[in-house]
């Protein structure tokens, strides 16, 4: 062969090698479908077998279209997506920046992007910025998904396909410091919403990272995407303008091999070998190869070596072993063997490829469920699985049985050897935990691993599987939420494997117990320090209480007089759920009256007036009453010793707390929120005049007085009385939006008439009660309530705002 011919062959071999390498070398661009790191998106193409497209034209109806928005969706793209949705496609948009506003607007969906990150320390997947939530598809299948870096969105169009929320204690991080502050909005937020449109649906995930490898690999997210793609072709849309030149080059190659990179690389090598054979036949040379043939052989070796390095396919090494033999043979024999090898490769390689892919999927599923078995690590299980399935290839090529048997024996011996050398003597010692924590917080469950060489510690818990590389002696810990008051039990399953994954050791189960204290106990501890040295009895003198009770026959609220309060206090308090807290407050208050405390009298005597229902009997002016035979009551002016706070009585935010709860933990959180408000004011100004409205069962209680006095009353009631609730269930209620409230009220569909009638009575009675207690419109108010009373809270906010009261912080009733 001539020198130009040899040069052409070498350039062809080098080009195929570089091309194969370009295909397999991963990208470093964030969000690239060829980036295999945590911030890439190649994993989503593997999970749902998604094809990659850089344009929306040519997509078919009924596809699942995945979009990780990195720029504003244009009106043309929005119109095209709308037509695809209406004809049966499902479009999932991961958008935390509001790039999908055009698409939402064209579809008639009203969503406001607030721009703040939502954090949730209760329903988190290890970190407060990864929110764990349950989502249910229309077919009833339910998945626990993890949403990273969710953005606060206000959903004004009710989702009718699917929806996922945070816990009741999530908050919008308005200042970006990563922690909850008093001015951060707390409540339930939407982290996924879906709307049915025509025959398809649009799913909005307010997170730009949802489709990234780090989160697609989470089991719940993987199962959710696989269920969405069931029976559908899946397309991952990538914006070409957000990719680097390297990614665009890889996309061009992708269009050539249509996603089958392993087969494409193999056939590049096969084509190179075929051209080499053709050139040898054309030359018809004899004898041993000369220097140019040797140079060609050396360059040709780089192709299978690089192919094996980038793909890990042993078929390339098998081809490499033939090169030294062929180098020593005559050109005629070399040509004949090359042709035979090419023909055999065409027949056998698809079989090996299919077996390899099939066995990899089966083994990968089993290793996700159980990291290891007996002394076999995941790599050994994988190798044995591949060998067992590849025995089918023996029917096509019997000599392969020797290779499979040798590989199996070698894998077993390697697992035993590594187990004896590295894992047999490792000791795992559990560490003691805090005996008492607060309910709703996280606790670290730790243990110490003593090893002579690096090992991988595998921790399995109800939250999933965690892998940690341990260097010699190290402490490993897992954070778990404390979900209920009282004794909490946790179990961890510990396993160890060598970093290569060939050997495994099961260390068994570790059990932990911790006693969870109520959140109120934390507040009461602070209250005790604040009240230390204070005369609580004297403080209670300046607190007044009004109790309203709903009459079941009429549904109206009436104000209870002192005799009725005394009767309630004397008959004792049974287990009546949240209302027992109000009864305890009443009993404590009446007990203080019985000790000679001045009760409702605040300030100096000013004169007399006609008796009004609810006046204390001690306030009646008996001399004037007997003189004119009509009940006359005394009036008092404000005391100089206890002046009103800045702005006078009513200068602060009015707290309206609905203590009806779904569980003891929720009731504890509600009372802790009320105590937090009282403590904040008492620590700043003990004389600050508070007004708090408590609602539970058929009772409404209005407290007025200095912050220290109100704090003392709650302190006396709660410090020795366990929190009780007659209910323990989950509620997925949400805030109806303002437009929904107005829609249900006026004119309102017939189906909502009973609901709106009940809430209208509640709202107007609450407003009337505040007016009777001289809490006038213009006051700021805030609502504290549980999950099950979210709808009630929206209606109360509506009627209070309608009456002229102002919601503190201007929260829109209906924010989710």
Six token digits for residue 599: 């009760």
pLDDT above 50 for 232 = yes
DSSP character at residue 778: T
Closest listed residue to residue 50, CA positions, set 229, 248, 262, 240: 229
pLDDT above 50 for 579 = yes
First to last CA, the chain: 76
State how far the Cα of 73 lies from the Cα of 334, in Å rounded to an integer.
58
pLDDT above 90 for 340 = no
The pLDDT of residue 787: 73
If one compares 336 and 206, the residue with the highest pLDDT of the two is: 206
> Average pLDDT in the 594-620 region?
51
If one compares 420 and 386, the residue with the highest pLDDT of the two is: 420
Complete edge-to-edge strand list for the sheet that includes strand 557-559: 557-559, 544-550, 699-706, 689-696, 654-658, 780-784, 806-807
The pLDDT of residue 413: 80
User: What φ, ψ does residue 429 adopt, rounded to 5°?
Assistant: -120, 120
Helix/strand/coil (H, E, C) string of 466-479? Answer: EEEEECCEEEEEEE
If one compares 9 and 778, the residue with the highest pLDDT of the two is: 778
Give the model confidence (pLDDT) of 121-139 as tens digits. 888 888 888 999 999 999 8
State how far the Cα of 749 lies from the Cα of 329, in Å rounded to an integer.
91
The pLDDT of residue 595: 43
The neighbouring-strand residues paired with 465 are 460
Within 8 A by CB and 6+ apart from 726, the residues are 575, 576, 577
The pLDDT of residue 192: 94
The pLDDT of residue 162: 93
pLDDT above 70 for 799 = yes
Tally of CB atoms within 10 A around 310: 19
Please give the mean pLDDT across all residues of the chain: 72
The pLDDT of residue 398: 52
Ranking 33-37, 390-394, 435-439 by mean pLDDT, the lowest is: 390-394
The pLDDT of residue 473: 81
State how far the Cα of 132 lies from the Cα of 405, in Å rounded to an integer.
46
pLDDT above 50 for 696 = yes
Ranking 232-241, 424-433, 622-631 by mean pLDDT, the lowest is: 622-631
Give the model confidence (pLDDT) of 492-551 as tens digits. 888 888 877 778 888 888 888 887 777 777 777 777 777 777 777 777 777 878 777 776
Six token digits for residue 640: 């100089």
Give the model confidence (pLDDT) of 292-312 as tens digits. 555 545 555 555 665 565 555
State how far the Cα of 540 lies from the Cα of 716, in Å rounded to an integer.
10
If one compares 170 and 523, the residue with the highest pLDDT of the two is: 170
pLDDT above 70 for 204 = yes
Within 8 A by CB and 6+ apart from 227, the residues are 137, 141, 143
Domains and CATH numbers, the chain: 3-16+259-355 (no CATH), 28-243 (no CATH), 427-517 (2.60.40.150), 522-602+675-718 (no CATH), 604-637 (no CATH), 738-807 (no CATH)
pLDDT above 80 for 173 = yes
pLDDT above 50 for 351 = no
Residue that has been written with the tokens 């071999």 in this structure: 13
The total number of residues written for the chain in this structure? 816
The pLDDT of residue 742: 56
The pLDDT of residue 631: 59
């Amino acid at each position: 062969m001539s020198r130009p011919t040899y040069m052409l062959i070498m350039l062809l071999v080098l080009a195929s090698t570089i091309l194969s390498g370009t295909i397999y070398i991963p990208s470093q661009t964030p969000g690239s479908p060829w980036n295999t790191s945590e911030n890439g998106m190649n994993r989503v193409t593997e999970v749902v077998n998604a094809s990659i497209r850089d344009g929306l034209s040519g997509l078919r109806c009924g596809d699942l279209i995945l979009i990780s928005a990195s720029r504003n969706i244009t009106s043309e793209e929005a119109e095209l997506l709308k037509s695809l949705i209406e004809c049966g496609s499902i479009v999932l948009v991961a958008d935390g920046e509001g790039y999908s506003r055009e698409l939402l607007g064209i579809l008639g969906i009203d969503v406001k992007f607030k721009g703040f990150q939502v954090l949730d320390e209760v329903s988190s997947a290890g970190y407060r910025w990864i929110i764990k939530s349950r989502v249910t598809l229309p077919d009833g299948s339910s998945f626990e998904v993890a949403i990273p870096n969710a953005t606060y969105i206000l959903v004004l169009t009710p989702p009718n396909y699917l929806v996922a929320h945070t816990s009741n204690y999530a908050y919008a991080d308005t200042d970006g410091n990563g922690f909850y502050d008093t001015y951060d909005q707390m409540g339930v937020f939407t982290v996924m919403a879906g709307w049915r449109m025509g025959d398809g649906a649009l799913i909005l995930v307010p997170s730009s990272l949802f489709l990234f490898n780090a989160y697609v690999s989470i089991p719940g997210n993987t199962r959710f995407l696989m269920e969405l793609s069931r029976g559908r072709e899946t397309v991952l849309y990538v914006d070409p303008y957000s990719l680097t030149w390297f990614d665009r080059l890889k996309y061009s190659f992708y269009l050539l091999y249509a996603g089958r990179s392993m087969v494409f690389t193999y056939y590049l090598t096969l084509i190179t070998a075929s051209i080499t054979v053709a050139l040898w036949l054309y030359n018809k040379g004899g004898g041993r190869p000369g220097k140019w043939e040797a140079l060609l052989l050396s360059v040709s070796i780089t192709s299978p070596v690089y192919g094996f390095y980038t793909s890990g396919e042993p078929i390339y090494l098998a081809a490499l072993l033939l090169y030294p033999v062929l180098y020593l043979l005559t050109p005629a024999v070399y040509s004949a063997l090359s042709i035979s090898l090419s023909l055999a490769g065409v027949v056998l390689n698809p079989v090996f490829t299919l077996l390899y892919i099939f066995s990899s999927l089966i083994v990968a599923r089993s290793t996700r469920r159980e990291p290891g078995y007996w002394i076999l690590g995941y790599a050994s299980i994988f190798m044995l699985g591949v060998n067992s399935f590849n025995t089918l290839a023996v029917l096509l090529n019997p000599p392969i049985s020797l290779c499979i048997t040798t590989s199996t024996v070698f894998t077993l011996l390697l697992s035993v050897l590594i187990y004896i050398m590295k894992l047999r003597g490792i000791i795992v010692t559990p560490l003691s935990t805090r005996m008492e924590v607060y309910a709703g917080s996280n606790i670290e469950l730790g243990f110490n691993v003593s090893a002579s060489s690096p090992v991988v510690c595998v921790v399995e818990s109800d939250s999933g599987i965690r892998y940690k590389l341990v260097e010699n002696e190290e402490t490993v810990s897992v954070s778990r939420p404390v979900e209920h008051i009282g004794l909490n039990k946790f179990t961890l399953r510990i396993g160890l494997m060598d970093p290569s994954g060939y050997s495994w050791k099961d260390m068994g189960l570790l059990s932990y117990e911790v006693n969870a204290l109520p959140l109120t106990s934390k507040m009461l501890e602070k209250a005790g320090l604040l009240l230390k040295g204070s005369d609580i009895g004297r403080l209670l003198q300046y607190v007044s209480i009004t109790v309203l009770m709903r009459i079941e026959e009429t549904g109206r609220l009436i104000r209870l007089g002192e005799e009725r309060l005394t009767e309630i206090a004397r008959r004792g308090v049974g287990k009546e759920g949240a209302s027992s807290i109000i009864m305890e407050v009443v009993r404590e208050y009446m007990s203080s009256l019985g000790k000679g405390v001045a009760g409702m009298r605040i300030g100096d005597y000013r004169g007399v007036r006609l008796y009004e229902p609810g006046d204390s009997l001690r306030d009646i002016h008996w001399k004037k009453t007997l003189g004119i035979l009509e009940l006359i009551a005394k009036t008092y002016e404000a005391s100089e010793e206890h002046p009103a706070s800045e702005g006078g009585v009513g200068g602060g935010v009015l707290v309206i707390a609905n203590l009806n709860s779904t569980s003891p933990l929720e009731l504890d959180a509600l009372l802790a929120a009320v105590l937090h408000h009282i403590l904040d004011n008492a620590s700043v100004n003990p004389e600050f005049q508070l007004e708090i409205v408590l609602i539970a069962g058929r009772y409404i209680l209005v407290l007025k007085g200095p912050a220290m006095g109100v704090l003392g009353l709650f302190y006396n009631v709660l410090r020795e009385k366990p929190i009780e609730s007659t209910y323990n269930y989950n509620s997925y209620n949400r805030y109806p939006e303002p437009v929904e409230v107005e829609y249900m009220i006026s004119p309102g569909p017939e189906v909502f008439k009973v609901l709106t009638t009940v809430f209208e009575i509640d709202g107007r009675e609450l407003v009337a009660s505040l007016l009777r207690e001289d809490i006038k419109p213009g006051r700021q108010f805030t609502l504290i309530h549980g999950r099950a009373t979210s709808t009630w809270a929206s209606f109360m906010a509506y009627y209070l705002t309608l009456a002229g009261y102002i919601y503190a912080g201007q929260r829109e009733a209906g924010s989710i």
